[in-house]
Chain A
Amino acid sequence: MVKMVEAPEGVEGQGFFATSLDKVIGMARANSLWPLPFATSCCGIEFMATMGANYDLARFGSERLSFSPRQADLLMVMGTIAKKMGPVLKQVYDQMAEPKWVIAVGACASSGGIFDTYSVLQGIDRIIPVDVYVPGCPPRPEQIIEGVMKIQDLARNESLRRRNSDEYKKMLESYNIETQ
């Protein structure tokens, strides 16, 4: 019993289907997110289990992992980010094209986790904007999948003009990220 994605509301007829552009693009984006697994430590191994056959993230459209940021939609930061790694993460984020989403998987990416030390960045939201935080140390694969599902909700309901709006640009400036 395979559950297909439901069509959005619209007017249906013989050979045509009319709905709003937002809904169609939202549906397409949400069900075909290409994640970039930025796996640094233990959460990365749980991610490998999530990609495995038992929990299977590929069911949610994330079949093709992209290790190149230029081709990815969703940056999944899994694991502790040390201060030495911060500039690398920022550069990877900058290279991604809009629309892009960021999910912070695990306690270390969300807030530094148990490592309240001089060398660990206390949460990646100090350097890049984050959409969804998945707590856990490491989070169970089901939690990671729920995080991806929340990103799917965000992608489905996002307005097409959001990335060009002033509010979004102001937020990026607060992170010192250049906007064209």
Chain B
Amino acid sequence: MSMAELNNENVLKALTDAFGDAILHSEMQFGMLNVEIPADRNLDIIGWLKSNESLKMEFLTDLCAVHYPEQKGRELAVVYHLHCWTKNYRMRIKCFVSAQKPEIASLTGLYNAANWMERETFDFYGVQFSGHPDLRRILNMDEMDYHPLLKQYALEDETRDDKDDSFFGR
């Protein structure tokens, strides 16, 4: 089927027609369609979104992760923002992985832009992207042994002694 115009309803319908119950959950957030898919299907579903003639989501706008420490078994959400330029349509895809085994397939085969974005996500959250050509830290020092943006770690450097926390309201 070919769609002249993409909007949230027909994109969601095309996804559910093609993948059925792999589309775990969908909702609208401030005008943008959010679709949750299982972490092991991200490569084929996003690949389908890219290559499908009427959807053609050829631009990966953004790739990041979010940490939800209370949701046991689903702590880390990997969020993809996709954009179809020819029909001016944006959508968001979310995949949840657990903090014990944060593995998900890498999208570097589909989009070159995913390379550094996945390295940044690994650096900040520890998400392991399987199939990534060179997964190592990018922004922090290589010797760092923890993933700083997880909620359990503090913002400040704990070993500093020149700033008195009582003055800063902490």
Let me know if chains A and B touch directly in the complex, using CB atoms closer than 8 Å.
Answer: yes
Q: Which residues of A contact B (CB under 8 A)?
A: 83-84, 111, 116-119, 122-123
Contact B157 A118, beta carbon cutoff 8 Å: yes
Distance A122 CA – B168 CA, assembled complex (angstroms): 16
Complex contacts, B157 vs chain A, CB 8 Å: 117-118, 122
Given A83-B141, A84-B141, A122 contacting B155 (CB threshold 8 A): no
Which range contains the number of B residues in contact with the other chain? Answer: 10 to 19
Closest CB of chain A to B146's CB: distance in Å? 9
B160 near A122 with CB under 8 A, answer yes
Contact A118 B141 (CB under 8 A): no
Give A118 to B141 CA distance when docked, in angstroms. Answer: 11
Please report which residues of chain B, range 123-170, place their CB below 8 angstroms from some CB of chain A when the two chains form the complex: 139-141, 148, 153-157, 160, 162-163, 168
Cβ contact within 8 Å between B156 and A117: yes
Identity of the chain A residue whose Cβ is nearest the Cβ of B146 in the assembled complex: A118
Determine the distance from Cα of A111 to Cα of B153 in the docked complex, in whole angstroms: 22
Nearest residue (CB) in A for B141 is: A84
| Residues of B participating in the A interface, judged by any CB pair closer than 8 Å | 139-141, 148, 153-157, 160, 162-163, 168
Bound Cα distance A123, B154 (Å):
20
Q: A122-B162, A122-B163 are in contact. Are A117 and B141 (CB under 8 A)?
A: no
B19 nearest CB across to chain A (Å): 40
Question: Cβ of B156: which chain A residues have Cβ within 8 Å of it?
Answer: 116-118
- In contact, A118 and B148 (Cβ under 8 angstroms): yes
Interchain residue pairs A-B with the least CB separation, the first 3? A118-B157, A84-B141, A116-B156
What separation, in Å, do the CA atoms of A123 and B162 have in the docked complex? 10
Given contacts A84-B141, A116-B168, 13 further A-B contacts (CB under 8 A): A83-B141, A84-B140, A111-B162, A116-B155, A117-B156, A118-B154, A118-B157, A119-B140, A119-B141, A122-B157, A122-B162, A122-B163, A123-B162
A112–B154 CA distance with the chains assembled, in angstroms: 17
Q: Which residues of B are found within 8 Å of A118, using beta-carbon distances?
A: 148, 153-157
**Which residues on the A side are within 8 Å of B160 (C-beta)?**
122
A118 to B148, CA, bound (A): 8
> Nearest residue in B to A87 (C-beta to C-beta)?
B141
User: CB-CB < 8 A to B139: which residues of A?
Assistant: 119
Residue of A nearest to B159 (CB): A118
Q: Which of A118, A119, A122 has the most CB of B within 10 A?
A: A118
With A83-B141, A84-B141 as known contacts, state yes or no: A117 contacts B163, CB within 8 Å.
no
Nearest-Cβ distance from residue B30 to partner chain A, whole angstroms: 29
- Please report the C-alpha to C-alpha distance between residue A14 and residue B162 in the assembled complex, in whole angstroms: 59
**How many whole Å from B141's CB to the nearest CB in chain A?**
5
Determine the chain B residues whose CB is within 8 A of the CB of A116 once the complex forms. Answer: 155-156, 163, 168
| A178: min CB distance to chain B, Å | 23
Q: Note all chain B residues with C-beta closer than 8 A to A111.
A: 162
Q: B41 to chain A: closest CB distance in Å?
A: 35
Instruction: Write out the residue numbers on chain B whose beta carbons fall within 8 Å of the beta carbon of A123.
Output: 162
How far is the CB of A124 from the nearest CB of chain B, in Å? Answer: 13
Compute how far the CA of A8 lies from the CA of B130 in the bound complex, rounded to whole angstroms: 71
* Cβ contacts under 8 Å, B154 to chain A: 118
C-alpha gap A83/B141 in the complex (Å): 8
**Contact partners of A84 in chain B: CB under 8 A:** 140-141
